[in-house]
Structure 1
Amino acid sequence: MILIVDSGSTKCDWMPVDLEGNQLSEKIRTKGLNPAILERNELRVRILENEELMAYKDKATHLYFYGAGCGTEKPKLALRDVLKEIFTSTHIEIEEDTMAAVRSTINHDDEAAVVCIMGTGSNCSYYDGNKLHQRVVSLGYSLMDEASGNYYGKELIKDYYYKHMPSSLRVAFDHKYNMEADHIKYNLYKQPNPNAYLATFAEFMILNKESVYMHDLIVRGFKSFAKNMIMQFKDELKSVPVHFAGSISFFTQEHIKEVAAEMGFTVGNFVRRPIEGLVDYHVKALKHV
């Protein structure tokens, strides 16, 4: 059987399927497994603490892992070591989350496209039908990640404290979240995964996206992302679409289309959860081995 894994910084979905692509159970969820921000022991604990997942550890013949933080070699090797310790007899392949986005959004295997991720974090690559190309290396949530969940969470918190948020939304925001300064600072500076914490606030933006304030916030964030990330491929954009993966892009696609029309690029597919498309991809690939 096959385990297909789609991991962000916030959560990690594991899909057990047989060699025909039939699901053997519902998706199994663990905490996010980002090896760029988590130590090996924490990665190990997050996997081992899920009893349902451990029931498959000796049954899996193949494990395909796609994750945030797997784009550079050192964290990727650390994660591989942890996975090999647990899934000892399993063939393991690890790819950065961008490849999950590519394989789940493109219309056919050799389609060229610019592919964006907009979930807890954000990124953008060009897929030429065979290989990924990145011209800007992401430096993560504290410096980049425009139009991501953590970016919008950060903007919402700042606007709340600067009192730029409309009063009616400010009251609702305060009711939904603990906005005590000490609580926020504790989660940002003394707890693991501050990026995931910031991203939890983005739900409020999605729920209120029809308001003028949220519309302007979403558009402003996406314009920054498009300018800095998508437009690095301005020559390729003349002939290829831009596909999107991740919950933030899925729920703000009308805003994205608005900006795309203004900036002159073609929007393609939107996929909320890449993992479903990855099942078809890997089952077909194994049948052709």
Structure 2
Amino acid sequence: MKLLVDSGSTKADWIAIDEQGKVIFTTQSLGLNPEVLTKEEILFRLEDKFDISQNKDKATHLFFYGAGCGTDRMKNFLTDVFQEYFSNANITVYEDTYAAVFATTPKNEQAIVCILGTGSNCSYFDGHVLHQKVQSLGYIAMDDASGNRFGRHLIRAYYFNKMPKHLVEKFEKNFDLDADVIKQNFYKEPNPNAYLATFAEFLIKNKEEVLFQSFIREEMTAFIENYIMQYENCKEVPVHFVGSIAFYLKDELKAILSEYGIQMGNVLRRPIDGLIEFHIANK
């Protein structure tokens, strides 16, 4: 049994397949970002899901694609944790961009592949090897156009009294905006980046608002200039996207990309289904 996992900071999609590619089960756990979780927290999140815990000894392979796995230190840390839990499995840990590449890019084709979800990332795939010019420093310093960046904009607009009254009323109905609650989630709870990203749905649902359009343009412009334009051939190859932000703001993203002469390629909300086809073809 092969386990295929696509994990962001917020959630992780799991699919178990047999040798023929038939789906045995699917489930979803909390995200397993090793940059923000301890070994104990990761093991707890695994054990907390019945399908995972009941089948851990049956797994022969685990292919994990995850946020926070961009360095060898984090890959090795997570590999050791998984090897302890899935004791009979061969463990392979990739950074999350590889899931996006394998799901969106036809075999041997060149593309720039981006992730716009809870966090953000961008790499160039030459048809064989992934190249990354910007190493992520995480949500505090980077993550342009991500869910957590949009959440930060919303919280700041609310607390700096920049949000129009009609939006304030809707925002207050949707979230507990007490300062103590927010600070508890920022500084005392795990995954503050994922907490920030929970606010992004409000922006997406009200994206026609002038204030929110300004946030969208600011963040997407920053992402294009800071990430995509690192690659000199960005106007010559398709630029694929994976993630909820890219998926639900696809029209806005396509319009801003076109202003830079950049061609939008495939856009997927989640890459997990494409990973099944990839692993069947490359078993």
What's the % identity of the aligned pairs? Answer: 49
The superposition leaves residues 73-99 of structure 1 with CA deviations (integer Å, 9 ceiling, x where unpaired) of: 111111111111111111111100000
TM-score (norm 2): 0.98
Distance 2:101 2:184 in 1: 36
Does the residue aligned with 1:13 lie in a helix, a strand or coil? strand
Partner of 2:265: 268
Q: Does the alignment pair 1:23 with 2:23?
A: yes
Aligned residues: 283
Does the residue aligned with 1:236 lie in a helix, a strand or coil? coil
Partner of 1:284: 281
Does the residue aligned with 2:262 lie in a helix, a strand or coil? coil
Counting only pairs closer than 5 Å after superposition, residues 192-203 of structure 1 correspond to structure 2 as 192-203=190-201
Distance 2:272 2:134 in 1: 25
Distance 2:254 2:230 in 1: 18
Partner of 1:209: 207
TM-score (norm 1): 0.96
- Specify the code of the residue in structure 1 equivalent to 2:186: L
Distance 1:115 1:201 in 2: 25
Does the residue aligned with 1:203 lie in a helix, a strand or coil? helix
Distance 2:257 2:247 in 1: 15
Does the residue aligned with 1:55 lie in a helix, a strand or coil? helix
Counting only pairs closer than 5 Å after superposition, residues 1-289 of structure 1 correspond to structure 2 as 1-25=1-25, 27-106=26-105, 108-233=106-231, 235-286=232-283
Distance 2:252 2:206 in 1: 13
Does the residue aligned with 2:162 lie in a helix, a strand or coil? coil
Distance 2:164 2:238 in 1: 36
Does the residue aligned with 2:145 lie in a helix, a strand or coil? coil
Measured after TM superposition, the shift of residue 217 of structure 1 is 1.5
Measured after TM superposition, the shift of residue 162 of structure 1 is 1.1
Q: Tell me which moved more, 50-59 or 261-270.
A: 50-59
- Specify the code of the residue in structure 2 equivalent to 1:65: F
Does the residue aligned with 1:80 lie in a helix, a strand or coil? helix
Moved over 4 A (4+): none
Structure 2 alignment gaps of length 5 or more: none
Q: Tell me which moved more, 212-221 or 93-102.
A: 212-221
Does the residue aligned with 2:282 lie in a helix, a strand or coil? helix
Distance 1:78 1:45 in 2: 16
Measured after TM superposition, the shift of residue 36 of structure 1 is 1.3
The superposition leaves residues 3-26 of structure 1 with CA deviations (integer Å, 9 ceiling, x where unpaired) of: 10001111111101112222112x
Distance 1:184 1:226 in 2: 30
The superposition leaves residues 220-278 of structure 1 with CA deviations (integer Å, 9 ceiling, x where unpaired) of: 11111111001111x21132010000011000010001101111111101010100000
Structure 1 alignment gaps of length 5 or more: none
